[in-house]
A and B are shown apart, each in its own frame.
Chain A
Amino acid sequence: MSKILVVEDDNILAKAVNTTLVDEGFETLIAVDGEDALVKAKQFKPDLVLLDLLMPKKSGEEVLADMKKDDELRDIPVLISTVKSDPESVARCTALGIQGYFIKAHYTLDDIVKEVNKVLGEKKR
């Protein structure tokens, strides 16, 4: 059973995503800010991180950068799920290394599940 770390500071959104992923049979853990995300990523060792960008303490971009510097975390696939839609944010994240970029509100939960499955499927292969 694949493990997914849901990094989301908004309770409501975290609940919606978490509920969906659990229903889909994933094992999940929720982190509520950037620092929490890094700590939990090390402990939980997820197969995929669903990462918000605008967060307290440490932004998603910083978390991503730290992960890429960390040998343990470097290879964990990351999907960004954020309200930020500017091309610069997309470009910076892409440069650091991500598997996908969702602009919240533009995507359905179903879209996210499909993408998660796709990324994890590729990883298995």
Chain B
Amino acid sequence: MHKKEGGNKIKHKRNKHGLLLSKCMAEHVNGNCHLFRLLFEYSPNPIFLETLSGKIMDCNRAAERTLGYTKEELLNFKKEELLPKNKRKFFPQIIKKIINNGSAVFECENVRKDGTIIPVEAHYKLMHQEGKPIVFAVIIDISHHKKIEDDLRASEENFKKIFNKSAVGIVLVGLDFKFLQANKAAVDIWGYSEKELKKMTFVDLTHPDEIARDKEQIKRLLKGEISVYKVEKRYIRKDGEIIWGAVNVSMVYSVENKPLYFVTTVEDITKKKLSSEGLKDLQIKYSTVVEQSNDGIIVIQDGVVRFFNRMMLAMTGYSRKKIIGKSFLDFIAPKYKKLVADRYAKRLRGVKVPSRYEFEILSKNGKTVPVEINSSQIFFEGRPAILAILRDMTNAREAAEALKLVSIRQEAILAAIPDIVMEVDVKKVYKWANQMGYDFFGSDVIGKQASHYFIGTQETYKIVEPVFVGRKDFIYVESWQRRKDGEKRLLAWWSRVLKDKNGNVTGVLSTARDITEHRKIEQELVRERELYTSLVENSNDGIAILQDDVIKFFNKQIFVMIGYTEVEAFGKPFINFVSDKDKKIVLERFKSRVLGKKVEPRYEVELIKKDGKVLPVEMNASLVNFEGRPAVMSVIRDITKAKEIDKMKSEFVSVASHQLRTPLTGIKWFTELLVGNKSGELSAKQKDYVDQIAIGTNRMINLVDDLLDVSHIEAGEKYGVVLKKQDISDIPKEIIRDQSIQAKSKKVGLELDQDCPSEVIIRADKSKLAQVFENLISNAIKYTPSGGKITIGCKKGEGGVIYFVRDNGVGIPARQMNRLFERFFRGDNVMTTEQGTGLGLYIAKYIVTKHGGKIWCESVENKGSTFYVFLPTV
């Protein structure tokens, strides 16, 4: 039945549609005219016969169906008119290739009558009909394959977009901390190329101070204790510059839940804004074609193979003989036999079944070949048959598998990116979201208008408009958004334009980070800073921070106080501003304080003002942490006025006391004259009254003496305690002798302890120490009721002697113990019953302290008190 090309003369014949049946077609199939007419007409793919100039001479039903034109319309077309306008210029090249090679395969687009464009694969074959060249064209609608390809591309692109176009640096870091991959932003941030980065670990980039903490946190991440490690940290750029990055690190796990690598995002917050330069539009062009189409064609009738083409041989590996006349089921993989047989039977009965589906055929070597079948019912030799076009899907399968693998990996990365990633189309409708995006907006976010999630009136659309119209590539915007739980959150968006290969804006890809807490903290900080600034700057005290011997900070008040300007004071050694006499003590105290030693915080010094005048101040210094290192904060109070007032007060007290002494002396002396009977005998009553006057006068004299002492102590002068090495053991004895009359009159026992050492040699001012004992013993007599007992004792202690004055009197209320040695202090329990100035213990403490000693008291109310005086021995 196959005859050789050449000698045959097949006539041109018009079929019932009045269409040309190509002679060459007939020649090609060796006269099997009817079969080829059927194949031609029922092929699921459009087939054209056309001249070299592109005039369509004939076409099949599939051509009508696929392109939406009637045959008549198509026959008036030039083939190139089916191409989109911008592609027509390539038509002459196609023809040239066909002429040169005899055949050609192109992937292009055809325009349907309704204007829609379909991707097609066009197979051309040059033939000759009556000596004239003619082009046989089979058009395969590859929308379906395009879709897989597009999905792959989209998925790949999504990842690439996020990875490469992200304004935030993204790196994949291996478990050995080595960089596996870095995006452009990361390269820009650190200044190292990706190639250089791949030889480094994150430790090489990290500021030395941060490494330990990072490692610790990453350990926790590896253990799964934390899901994300967020930190703001310092890096050292390649150029040595220190930069700050806001960093999020998370783990990517394998399907088996084993940690694979880290995904780290880094935002350069050194300048808090991203440079819009340097990020080039990295349109990635994919030229991947998933597969080259070469379809097998087979006709099945009565369950057996009636026709097949060469491609089928290639696909199955069988010889012609092995196929023809055999049951088609023999060539189908066992697990699909039932499905295919079932559909075959149904189709023959006219039941609607999917015309396009996939299964596997068996090849000669026993391997299965996945195929996609596109079948339709035809009439073959006058009886129904099935025309099946089989496409080897091996490559497509592999591509799909690859896509799946890539997708898993990419999904894992996207899911692990701890930022929200969203894509909107030009209408600002959400098209795509990563897991964080879904987590934030909810699982129904896709398809929603972005503004659906806005809270309050927002300028967001206005701000991002330049990106949507393609005027800007990148915009940063902050906006309040509603989270899926209804909560109001502030998101920081990095929005980047997406363009197709023709440069048209297709949407915007945005990375977002929830900065609500961050902003709150920022506002808190600003508020706190304002508060502190206002406190510090409006303080009436000078405040200075001193570090490394220099002035690191001064508030306004200090300038007012000392008259220097900021420029004159900052960074200068602070000691320059201290008077010569105080330099030593200020430096010593500063050094001790910085070393953490306990130093009296409050002391008075003199500063030197710019005009050279002396400024008396009270310093209140404390150890603080300034810029991470110890420093001293000094609160400096101008005490010029206080000093003046103190001086005036002391002077007043001094003058008043002196003036009081004169009339008091007059009363004392004339009383003495009265008592001494120099002016005649007094009656018993008169004598008693005069005695009372004498007692009152003496009290007043004591009070004046105490006041004078205090005024001298406070003036810091005239109350010199002059220490001289001497024996003081006789002092208590003398005081006891002096006070014994008083003790006796109150019927209080007063004795010296037997164990007192006979000699106590210390450096002392005897008259002042006598005053201490006088005060302590007279107090004890005063506050011990009749019948009580007072013991004065002394024992040697470590480094000195301890004297004690013990009574069993009224004692001191526990709550008042801590105020015992204050000026004018008087116990609540004696305030109204006993006379006193409240100055005795204050003066005693001053004197003891000047001796380098200590004074303290143990007391139980209503049981008695013991006062101790420790004096260091020579």
Residues of A within 8 A of B (CB): 10, 12-13, 16-17, 19-20, 23, 54, 83-88, 103-106, 108-110
> Could you mark each residue 654-675 of chain B with 1 if its beta carbon is under 8 Å from any beta carbon of chain A, else 0?
0000110111111011101100
Q: Residue A108 contacts which of B659, B663, B668 (CB distance < 8 angstroms)?
A: B668
Residues of B contacting A20 in the complex (Cβ-Cβ under 8 angstroms): 669, 673, 678
| Interfacial residues, chain B to chain A (CB-CB below 8 A) | 658-659, 661-666, 668-670, 672-673, 676, 678, 701, 704-705, 708, 712, 718, 720, 722
| B701/A108 in contact, CB under 8 A | no
Is B718 touching A88 in the complex (CB atoms < 8 A)? yes
Could you list 10 further interchain pairs (A-B, Cβ under 8 angstroms) beyond the known A19-B678, A83-B658, A87-B718?
A10-B662, A13-B669, A19-B673, A87-B722, A103-B661, A104-B665, A105-B661, A108-B668, A109-B673, A110-B676
Q: Which residue of the partner chain A has the closest CB to B765?
A: A87
- Checking B665, B672, B720 against A83 with a beta-carbon cut-off of 8 angstroms, the contacting residue is B665
In the complex, what distance in Å separates the CA atom of A119 from the CA atom of B661?
25
Contacts of B663 in A (CB 8 A): 12
User: Which among A10, A23, A108 has the highest number of chain B CB atoms within 10 Å?
Assistant: A108
Known: A13-B666, A16-B666, A105-B661. A85 touches B701 (CB 8 A): no
A to B CB contacts below 8 Å, 5 in the list: A16-B670, A83-B662, A86-B712, A103-B661, A108-B669
Give the residue name and chain of the B residue nearest to A14 (CB). B666
State the CA gap A77–B209 with chains docked (Å).
84
A-side contacts of B670, CB under 8 Å: 12, 16
Q: How far is the CA of A87 from the CA of B717 in the complex (A)?
A: 10
Query: Which of B673, B678, B704 contacts A105, CB < 8 Å?
Result: B704
Which chain A positions have C-beta within 8 A of B678?
19-20, 23
Nearest residue (CB) in B for A108 is: B672
Q: Do A13 and B662 touch across chains, with their CB atoms under 8 A apart?
A: yes
Residues of A within 8 A of B673 (CB): 16, 19-20, 109
7 smallest beta-carbon distances between A and B, as pairs: A83-B661, A16-B669, A104-B665, A12-B666, A105-B665, A105-B701, A86-B718
What are the residues of chain B within 8 A of A110 when measuring CB–CB? 672, 676
Q: CA A88 – CA B755 in complex, angstroms? A: 38
Pick from B662, B672, B676: contact of A104, CB below 8 A: B662
Q: Decide: A13 and B665 in contact? CB cutoff 8 A.
A: yes
Give complex CA distance A105, B668 in Å. Answer: 7
Contact of B669 among A17, A23, A88, A103 (CB under 8 A): A17
Distance, CA A84 to CA B705, complexed state (A) = 11
Complex Cα spacing A23 to B664, Å: 22
Q: Nearest Cβ in chain A — how far from B713, in angstroms?
A: 12
Q: Tell me the interface secondary structure of chain B in the complex.
A: helix
Asked whether B664 lies within 8 Å of A87 as measured between CB atoms, the reply is no
* Residue from the list A16, A17, A19, A104 in contact with B661, Cβ < 8 A: A104
Closest to B722 in A: A87
The minimal Cβ–Cβ distance linking A94 to chain B, given in whole angstroms, is: 14
In angstroms, Cα B328 to Cα A33, docked, is: 153
A106 closest partner in B (C-beta)? B701
Q: How far is the CB of B603 from chain A (nearest CB, A)?
A: 26
For residue A105, give the distance in angstroms from its CB to the closest CB of chain B: 5
Known contacts A16-B673, A20-B673, A110-B672: A105-B658 contact under CB 8 Å: no
Interchain CA distance A47-B658 in the complex, whole Å: 29
Closest A residue to B718 using CB positions: A86
Residues of A within 8 Å of B662, CB to CB, are 10, 13, 83, 104
Residue among B661, B666, B720 making CB contact with A87, cutoff 8 Å: B720
Across the two chains, which residue of chain B brings its CB closest to A9?
A: B662
A104 to B670, CA, bound (A): 13
Cα–Cα distance between A20 and B662 once the two chains are bound (Å): 17
Task: Please report the C-alpha to C-alpha distance between residue A13 and residue B701 in the assembled complex, in whole angstroms.
Answer: 16
- Docked Cα-Cα span, A85 to B701, in Å, equals 13
Tell me the bound Cα distance from A11 to B75 in angstroms. Answer: 152
Name the A residues within 8 Å of B666 (CB-CB).
10, 12-13, 16
Contact A84–B664 (Cβ < 8 Å): no
CA distance A86 to B720 in the complex (A): 9
Shortest distance from the beta carbon of A116 to any chain B beta carbon, whole Å: 15
Complex formed: what's the CA distance from A54 to B655 in Å? 11
**Distance between Cα atoms of A106 and B701 in the complex (Å):** 8
Taking CB atoms, residues of chain B closer than 8 Å to A16 are 666, 669-670, 673
- How far is A110 from B675 in the complex, measured between Cα atoms in Å? 12
Please, which residues of chain A bring their CB within 8 A of the CB of B701? Answer: 105-106
**How long is the Cα–Cα vector from A110 to B659 in the complex, in angstroms?**
23
Q: How far is the CA of A10 from the CA of B658 in the complex (A)?
A: 13
Q: Which residue of A lies closest to B694 (CB)?
A: A108
Q: How far is the CA of A86 from the CA of B704 in the complex (A)?
A: 14
| CB of B378, distance to nearest CB on chain A (Å) | 137
Contact B658–A54 (Cβ < 8 Å): yes
How far, in angstroms, from A98 to B589 measured CA to CA in the complex?
Answer: 46
Q: Which residues of A contact B669 (CB under 8 A)?
A: 13, 16-17, 20, 108-109
Q: CA A16 – CA B664 in complex, angstroms?
A: 13
* Cβ-defined contact, B672 with A84, below 8 A: no
Q: Say yes or no: A84 contacts B658, CB within 8 Å.
A: yes
Cα(A17)–Cα(B668), bound, Å: 12
Contacts of A108 in B (CB 8 A): 668-669, 672
User: Chain B residues with Cβ under 8 A from A23's Cβ?
Assistant: 678
Closest to B657 in A: A83
A7 CB → nearest B CB, Å: 14
